Every structure is written in structure tokens, then in C-alpha cells.
Amino acid sequence: MSKDYWDSLAPSFEQSVMQIAEHDLDSTLKNQIRRVAKGRRLAADLGCGVGSLLPLLCQSFSKVYAVDFSSALLQEAKNRLKHPNVHFVQHNLAGDRRLPWTADVTFCVNALITARPSHRKKIGLSVFKATKKAGLSVIVVPSLESVFHTYHTIVRCNVKDGYKRHHAMRSVNRLFKTEVVSPADGIVNIGDSPTKCFMREEITTFLSDIGFEVAKIQRVQYPWHEEMTNAPSWLKAPYPWDWLVLARRPK
């Protein structure tokens, strides 16, 4: 997932990328932002995209850095939000340069998704280094458990629609083969792009290995129509979800 890839998505970002801030069914992310903002003034949104999180961050913090390496996405974010609290920064989080400031709270929402482990590690380290000592980080990643929950749910829906279970299973196994690039590594084609999805334990150990202390993990649930075309109206919870991790950089 290169800079060119993300630049190319700029004209159709709304349609091609699920921005969790806009689909957060229980306001989990929104409530977490309000809680971490209490008594803290400086935030950084690392991998901000077109800036779906920025209006909320600007309401809650007195200064917000919006960071991304895609010039096209940053330009779109600038066009959308003109607010005196926000400062846009073009920066490669997987590069060798360090950001010249640290924030009381860093946010990294679905930016740790490259299939390349070495890039994920570098992005994770950049998030850690951009977080003040004793500061907090809110990290959201796609859930691998949710991917499997979706396959089970497709079978459940098809059986309810009258398909024999083994036929429904065969068809979902075919879908699995086209979408899941590596079950063990959690790499799944999302919107045609190999995307890293994390198990709860994996994101915990990933962040601990970088140096963070993991304080809390929650689900950010989103609607079924983001995963299934023609999701039936009876289909409710448990919804698909991303993992939201609240982590602390030690003193």
C-alpha cells in the first residue's frame, strides 16, 4: 500500500474506504475521544486520510496535527475542514524521519493495515515516538475475528433463505479462497487490496512489543451493509467490528 495507491483513491475515498468514524454504531470511538481529551490539549491523527476524525478532534483538543503521506488525501482533508486548531503535515510514518513534536494523545485509525510486517512495525514505532511519555494512544485496526464472524453470518443468512447448509458452506469457502490471502498472517483482500487484520491477542502483543502498555480493548461495531451486499433487515448484533485499543506510553 504505497503512497501512489492511497493518492489514487482520493477521488473515490468515500466509496472505496470504510471510515469507521462515520459508521461507529455505538459511538465507541467518539466516547473514547471525549474521555482521553479531558485535561489534554495536543492530539495527532496519524494516517488521517480525508480527515473523518478531525471535526471531533478539533472540538475536543486545542491543537491537532493531521498527518498522512498521501498529498492527495491531505489536500482533500484540507478542502473539507478549515479550522484554526488543525495543522496538516505530510509525513511518511514508515520512513526514517521522526516527527518533530510529540502529542498528549495520538490516534492511528486503520492506518496499520499494510500487508508488509516491516512497514507495520515502522508505523507502530512512529506512533509510539509521536506519543508523549505518559501520554495515550488510541489505535483502531480491522479485526480478523470479525472477518470469520462475517463468513459464519453469510452461511447463517443463506440457510435461513432456504439453501442447504453444505451448499452455503461450499459457496462461502470459495469466497474465503478469493478473499483471504493468508489466514495465519491475517491478510485479507479488502477492496482488492491485501489488508492486515488483527486478532485481539495479536494487536495486544504487537503494541506491547513496541513499548506501549495496553490499557483497554473495545469493539467498534459497524453496520452489516458495510460487509454484505443485501444484508437482510433482521440481521442485527453481533455486528462486524474493528478493534479499538487504548494504550499508554510509559513515563
Ligand X SMILES: C[S@@+](CC[C@H](N)C(=O)[O-])C[C@H]1O[C@@H](n2cnc3c(N)ncnc32)[C@H](O)[C@@H]1O
Q: Which residues bind ligand X (CB under 6 A)?
A: 1, 6, 17, 19-21, 47-49, 52, 68-70, 73, 92-94, 109-111, 123
Considering the complex, state which of residue 93 and residue 154 has its C-beta at the smaller distance from ligand X. Answer: 93
Q: For residue 143, list its beta bridge partners.
A: 198
195 φ, ψ (degrees, to nearest 5): -125, 135
Question: What does each C-alpha distance from 68 to 16, 77, 123 come to in angstroms?
Answer: 18, 10, 11
The grid coordinates of residue 25 equal 454504531
d(CA 218, CA 5): 30
| Beta carbon of residue 168, minimum distance to ligand X (angstroms, whole number) | 31
Task: Please answer whether residues 247 and 207 qualify as being in contact, where contact means their C-beta atoms are separated by less than 8 angstroms.
Answer: yes
Report how many helices (DSSP H) and strands (DSSP E) the chain contains, helices first. Answer: 9, 10
Using CB atoms, what's the residue nearest to ligand X?
A: 49
Considering the complex, state which of residue 155 and residue 220 has its C-beta at the smaller distance from ligand X. Answer: 220
Considering the complex, state which of residue 49 and residue 135 has its C-beta at the smaller distance from ligand X. Answer: 49
Q: For residue 65, list its beta bridge partners.
A: 44, 87
The DSSP output letter for 162 is T
Considering the complex, state which of residue 92 and residue 158 has its C-beta at the smaller distance from ligand X. Answer: 92
The DSSP output letter for 143 is B
Considering the complex, state which of residue 9 and residue 168 has its C-beta at the smaller distance from ligand X. Answer: 9
220 contacts: CB under 8 Å, gap ≥ 6: 20, 24, 26, 28, 29, 140, 241, 242, 243, 244
Task: Please answer whether residues 144 and 176 qualify as being in contact, where contact means their C-beta atoms are separated by less than 8 angstroms.
Answer: no
Considering the complex, state which of residue 130 and residue 136 has its C-beta at the smaller distance from ligand X. Answer: 130
| Beta carbon of residue 154, minimum distance to ligand X (angstroms, whole number) | 23
Question: What does each C-alpha distance from 199 to 60, 155, 233 come to in angstroms?
Answer: 30, 22, 28
